[in-house]
Structure formats: structure tokens, C-alpha cells
């Protein structure tokens, strides 16, 4: 009689579901007894593979126990006046519920509490001097939670000071293992140095909104970035003393100092504490004209300034047709058999006959239903020779719209920077509560706009990475006239930071890829508007 069955009318192709079943052991069960549970699935429709239609799970009965555990990490640059971010991961690794859980965090004397966010478990917090105490009513077996905590370092602190932060966890019941109830992290305060320079075209025209990014391998607090101003000038501050690679990313191209594209050939830049390293400059050639003209509709187009090829992000939430036009000239007579070819990554190859609109202009339209990831080419016969030219490619994630929180109108020209958190991985599903993981569209509890902002511990997505990790090879991007932006990225955990004149800075949640993320839509509050509960503030220095 211990059989439970469910009847599901229909399971669509490629879909899945989950069932959660709670059972109670009988009084006759003893410690170390083995319990076997079997599940089977069947349907009236013929099944091509019966080997995966059943599964058996075996578990051994354990002794009742309570075991709380806590871990802590620190992120940010420990320098005078800066903000530090502490990440507390707590859990009940025992098999019995623990009640009246207290999480006590003792802050260093040279920092002050700013804010916190408690993720997964509703809890209350009391502050007593430099001690913060969270109360969680209960933690079920194997239940976990996170606390993101931000603090401000005092302006008067001296270099070399060690900031030690201790967290402890306790409950109303006895704990079988007290060794995992405490964790301590330390940071050493430093006085930063800085790098300055100018980014221009080869004709000395300044490039505004280029990104200069200083990076030092395997060193703490050793990366920072800055935008160029209207004169092409930048200043990267907050750097610990040492040797750095300096990357430059712009709409006109990307390079590493001094005018190379790989770190093996790069010139290291030395930073000294409390000093400026000047004249770390970059120059780029004027952009190559686009190979084709693209009427993108609701899609997003980026033209590579070094090749003229187009990267086209497919707007999955609001698809539209895509029209591509190209000027084609032959020496003797006009071209023949002009064809737009779309070689998709998963749906085969499509061909579209291009029509002569006027003069030397030829165009074809790809229906929205055909659009996916792939490569675009144009083929034609010219002067007795068949020409095949790659003109760009289609991409699918991550992408979204940036809009005004009050009006819903798109924010045009917003600066969108892409960051990744090394060492983090996407969650396996809704029940995955491991630390250093990020939600995917399959695990998220709500839409992205309602989730908490990312802890700002990532590095800029690197356009010069090998193997390639972002496309287009530009960071930041700027929203188009519909508020749209889009990248294609490697697997991992990513977030964006969005800035726009007159608006509060917005930081997205951390999102996991794969699967594809095509709805990372965010709203932004005007500076004089009430803040949303998910708004955080980051320091921005304009020089």
C-alpha cells in the first residue's frame, strides 16, 4: 500500500517538472537501517528509451542531530574611506530542525555598518555597537541562508592595519560539532596608487567612454577600471602597489598596453603606493565602415570597428524581421545570383535571394521566425568569379531593456558594463543552495528586476580574453533607442552595472549562463525619485 501515484495529462516536448514528497519513519526503524525508494514513470505514448523510466534511491537511517555551520568571505578594497562587503553563508547540516538561531557578527573597530541583505530566510537584526546579531526563528535540516553585509572603513585608518571580522552561529538546541560555528576573515589596509593616461584616435581625436582596466594576476584588490572623459583622459585609482596589465576597450577597438593584444607581449605598468603613474596612453585607428546596412527592427546591432562585421542580438521576447542591405559593384556587368546565407548553429542553413533595390544596392529580409545564433554571409557572381563574404553573426544572450522606473520609457544611451565573478557557477535548479552560485532562468524565484543586486566582487568581462568570453568584443555597451543592449557570453556567472545621466546607478543580480538569458530587463530610478528596495549606491568619481 506504500504506493503514491500522480497523473499528469500532458508533458510537452523538452519540458520537465519536480515533485517533493515528505514521509515519516515508523517507530520501529533503527539507526543504520537502509530505506529503499523507487520511482517509475510511464505513459500511453510509446517511449523510445525505457532504460531511464525508473530510479531507485537508497538512504541509511542516521542518528538525530543538530549541526549549525557558518562561513564568511570578504570583498572590496580595504583602504581608507572605502566600502567593504562581507558575505556570510550559514546552514543547518544536521538532520533535525534548530530553533532560535543567532548569527553574531563582530565588526572591526575601524569600520561602521552601512547596510545588509538577508537572502532565503526572513530574520531580524539588532545592532549593539560593533556587534550585529541576526535572529532566525528556525532552520530546517540542510536549510541554508546568506547575508550580504556592507561596511565603511574610516578615513583615518593607517596602512597596514589588519581588519579582523568574526562571525558565530548558535541555536537553542545542543550542537554536535562546535568547530564549524565560527569563522574569521581578515583584510590588510593599504593606501592606493593610481594610473592616468589618454585614449585617442591616431589623429589625436579624443575617445570618450573608453574603458581603461588595470589588472594584476593572483593578487588581492588588484583590479580597477575607469572611463575616459570628453577629452579622452582617465584615472584608475584604488590600486595596491605592484605591476599591472592595462587593458583598453573602446568602440574603436581593444588593446593591452603598449599597443598589443596579448599579455605575453604587453608592457607591465608599475604602481607605487600613494603615487601616480602617468602617460599610460592608447591610440586606435578610425573605425572600418560597416560591410552591410542592417534594419534591425527590435533586434540590436553592433558593428566591429576593426572588421566592419555586424553582431546582431536576436530579441527573443519581442522578435522582428531583419533586413540586410549591401552595395555590390562589379567591373563589367552587375552581380548575379546575389544571395544572403544564414548558417545557424542548430537549425541548418537558410538562403534568401537578394533583390536589386536601386543602383548597386541589394537587400533581403530574414523572417523573425528564422532568427537564432549563427553566421551571416553574402554570395554572388561577379566578373566570372563567385564571391562569398562573411558579414556578421547572430547572438542570443544576455540581453534586456533598461527603462525608467516611473514612466516605463526606454533609457537611451545608458552605459552598460558587464562583469563576471570568477569561481562562481550557475545553480543546478531551485533547490541548489551552494555558496558561490548564481541563479539561472530555471532556478530564479522571481523576475530579474526583483532580485537583490550582485555583490560587487566581479571583474570586467574581457574583450581580449582567449578563449573569447564576450561578444561583441566591447565593454561597456550603450543602450539603443529602445533601451536595448545585448552580449553573447561564455558559461559562468555575470552581472551588469548600468549608469545614465540623471539616474541612480543600477546593479543587476548575478545571472547564470547557460541557459540563455534574454530578459535581463532593469528599471532605473531618477536621482530625485524614491529608491526601490533593490537599489544600491556605488561611488563614482568624475575627474
Chain position carrying cell 539507526: 31
* Residues facing 507 on adjacent strands: 497
Q: How much is the pLDDT for 1?
A: 66
CATH number at residue 491: 2.60.40.1120
Closest to 211 (Cα-Cα) out of 470, 524, 483? 470
450 three-class SS:
helix
180 three-class SS:
helix
CA torsion sign for 258, 262, 266, 272 is: positive
- State the Cα–Cα distance between residues 463 and 472, nearest whole angstrom: 8
Q: How much is the pLDDT for 101?
A: 93
Same structural domain, 323 and 345: yes
CATH number at residue 344: 2.60.40
Q: How much is the pLDDT for 539?
A: 34
Q: How much is the pLDDT for 540?
A: 34
> Where a domain ends, among 359, 379, 395?
395
- State the Cα–Cα distance between residues 540 and 497, nearest whole angstrom: 12
CB contact at 8 A, 96 and 173: yes
CB contact at 8 A, 196 and 280: yes
Q: Is residue 484 part of a domain?
A: yes
Same structural domain, 251 and 264: yes
Burial of 182 (0-12, 13-18, 19+ CB in 10 A): middle
Q: How much is the pLDDT for 120?
A: 66
Same structural domain, 389 and 297: yes
Q: Is residue 91 part of a domain?
A: no
Rounded to whole angstroms, what are the CA distances from 445 to 249, 430, 512?
A: 35, 8, 14
What's the CA dihedral at 199, 203, 204, 209 to 10 degrees?
-40
Q: Is residue 34 part of a domain?
A: no
Q: How much is the pLDDT for 198?
A: 98
Residues 6+ apart with CB under 8 A from 161: 110, 188, 189
Q: The pTM is what?
A: 0.56
DSSP string spanning 353-370? Answer: EPEEEETTEEEEEE-GGG
- State the Cα–Cα distance between residues 148 and 73, nearest whole angstrom: 10
Closest to 35 (Cα-Cα) out of 14, 56, 4? 56
Q: How much is the pLDDT for 491?
A: 83
185 three-class SS:
strand
Q: Determine the structural domain holding residue 458 and report its residue range.
A: 399-524
CB contact at 8 A, 455 and 85: yes
Residue 157 gets which letter from DSSP? Answer: P
- State the Cα–Cα distance between residues 461 and 470, nearest whole angstrom: 7
CB contact at 8 A, 340 and 324: yes
- State the Cα–Cα distance between residues 138 and 117, nearest whole angstrom: 18
CB contact at 8 A, 321 and 367: yes
CB contact at 8 A, 336 and 310: no
> Where a domain ends, among 236, 264, 284?
284
Q: Which set of grid coordinates corresponds to residue 460?
A: 570586467
- Which residues in the chain show pLDDT less than 50? 530-543
Residues 6+ apart with CB under 8 A from 254: 247, 248, 261, 463, 464, 473, 474
Q: How much is the pLDDT for 393?
A: 84
Chain position carrying cell 523507487: 38
Q: Which set of grid coordinates corresponds to residue 217?
A: 594576476
- C-beta atoms surrounding 321 within 10 Å: 16
Q: Is 242 left (phi over 0), alpha (psi -120 to 50) or beta?
A: left
Chain position carrying cell 542553413: 349
Q: How much is the pLDDT for 107?
A: 96
Q: How much is the pLDDT for 355?
A: 97
Q: Is residue 220 part of a domain?
A: yes
Backbone angles phi, psi at 128, to 5 degrees: -135, 95
Same structural domain, 414 and 385: no
Q: Is residue 387 part of a domain?
A: yes
Q: Which set of grid coordinates corresponds to residue 483?
A: 533601451
Q: Could you tell me whether strands 437-438 and 425-426 are parallel, antiparallel, or unpaired per DSSP bridges? A: parallel
Same structural domain, 507 and 466: yes
Structural domains counted in the chain:
3
Same structural domain, 273 and 310: no
Amino acid at each position: 500500500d506504500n504506493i503514491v501515484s500522480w497523473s499528469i495529462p500532458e508533458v510537452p516536448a523538452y519540458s520537465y517538472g519536480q515533485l517533493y514528497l515528505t514521509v515519516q519513519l515508523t517507530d520501529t526503524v533503527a539507526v543504520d537501517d537502509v530505506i529503499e525508494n523507487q520511482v517509475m514513470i510511464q505513459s500511453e505514448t510509446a517511449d523510445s528509451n525505457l532504460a531511464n523510466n525508473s530510479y531507485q534511491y537508497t538512504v541509511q537511517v542516521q542518528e538525530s542531530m543538530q549541526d549549525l555551520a557558518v562561513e564568511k568571505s570578504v570583498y572590496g578594497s580595504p583602504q581608507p574611506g572605502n566600502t567593504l562587503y562581507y558575505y556570510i553563508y550559514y546552514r543547518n547540516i544536521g538532520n533535525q530542525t534548530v530553533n532560535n538561531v543567532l548569527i553574531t557578527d563582530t565588526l572591526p573597530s575601524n569600520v561602521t555598518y552601512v547596510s545588509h541583505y538577508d537572502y532565503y530566510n526572513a530574520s531580524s537584526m539588532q545592532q549593539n555597537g560593533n556587534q550585529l546579531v541576526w535572529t532566525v526563528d528556525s532552520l530546517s535540516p540542510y536549510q541554508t541562508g546568506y547575508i550580504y553585509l556592507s561596511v565603511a572603513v574610516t578615513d583615518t585608518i593607517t596602512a597596514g592595519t589588519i581588519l579582523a571580522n568574526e562571525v558565530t552561529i548558535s541555536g537553542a538546541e545542543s550542537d554536535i560539532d562546535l568547530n564549524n560555528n565560527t569563522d574569521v576573515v581578515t583584510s590588510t589596509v593599504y593606501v592606493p596608487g593610481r594610473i592616468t593616461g589618454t585614449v585617442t584616435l591616431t589623429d589625436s581625436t579624443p575617445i570618450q567612454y573608453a574603458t581603461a582596466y588595470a589588472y594584476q594576476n593572483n593578487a588581492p584588490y588588484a583590479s580597477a577600471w575607469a572611463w575616459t572623459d570628453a577629452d579622452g583622459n582617465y584615472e584608475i585609482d584604488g590600486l595596491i602597489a605592484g605591476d599591472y596589465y592595462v587593458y583598453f576597450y573602446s568602440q574603436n577597438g581593444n588593446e593591452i598596453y603598449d599597443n598589443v593584444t596579448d599579455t605575453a607581449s604587453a608592457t607591465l605598468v608599475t604602481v607605487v603606493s600613494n603615487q601616480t603613474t602617468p602617460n599610460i596612453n592608447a591610440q586606435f585607428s578610425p573605425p572600418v565602415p560597416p560591410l552591410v546596412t542592417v534594419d534591425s527592427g527590435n533586434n540590436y546591432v553592433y558593428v566591429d570597428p576593426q572588421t566592419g562585421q555586424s553582431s546582431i542580438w536576436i530579441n527573443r521576447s519581442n522578435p522582428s524581421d531583419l533586413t540586410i542591405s549591401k552595395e555590390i559593384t562589379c567591373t563589367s556587368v552587375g552581380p548575379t545570383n546575389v544571395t544572403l546565407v544564414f548558417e545557424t548553429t542548430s537549425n541548418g542553413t537558410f538562403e534568401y535571394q537578394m533583390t536589386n533595390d536601386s543602383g548597386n544596392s541589394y537587400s533581403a529580409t530574414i523572417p523573425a521566425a528564422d532568427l537564432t545564433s549563427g553566421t551571416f554571409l553574402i554570395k554572388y557572381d561577379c566578373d566570372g568569379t563567385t564571391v562569398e563574404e562573411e558579414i556578421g553573426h547572430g547572438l542570443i544572450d544576455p540581453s534586456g531593456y533598461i527603462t525608467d522606473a516611473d514612466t516605463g520609457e526606454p533609457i537611451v544611451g545608458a552605459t552598460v558594463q558587464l562583469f563576471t565573478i570568477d569561481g562562481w557557477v550557475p545553480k543546478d535548479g531551485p533547490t541548489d543552495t551552494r555558496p558561490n552560485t548564481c541563479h539561472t532562468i530555471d532556478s530564479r524565484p522571481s523576475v530579474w528586476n526583483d532580485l537583490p543586486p550582485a555583490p560587487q566582487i566581479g571583474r570586467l568581462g574581457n574583450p581580449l580574453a582567449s578563449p573569447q568570453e564576450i561578444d561583441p568584443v566591447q565593454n561597456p555597451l550603450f543602450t539603443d533607442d529602445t533601451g536595448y543592449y545585448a552580449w553573447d557570453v561564455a558559461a559562468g556567472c555575470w552581472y551588469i552595472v548600468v549608469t545614465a545621466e540623471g539616474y541612480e546607478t543600477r546593479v543587476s543580480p548575478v545571472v547564470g549562463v547557460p541557459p540563455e538569458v534574454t530578459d535581463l530587463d532593469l528599471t532605473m530610478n531618477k536621482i530625485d525619485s524614491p529608491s526601490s528596495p533593490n537599489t544600491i549606491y556605488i561611488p563614482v568619481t568624475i575627474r
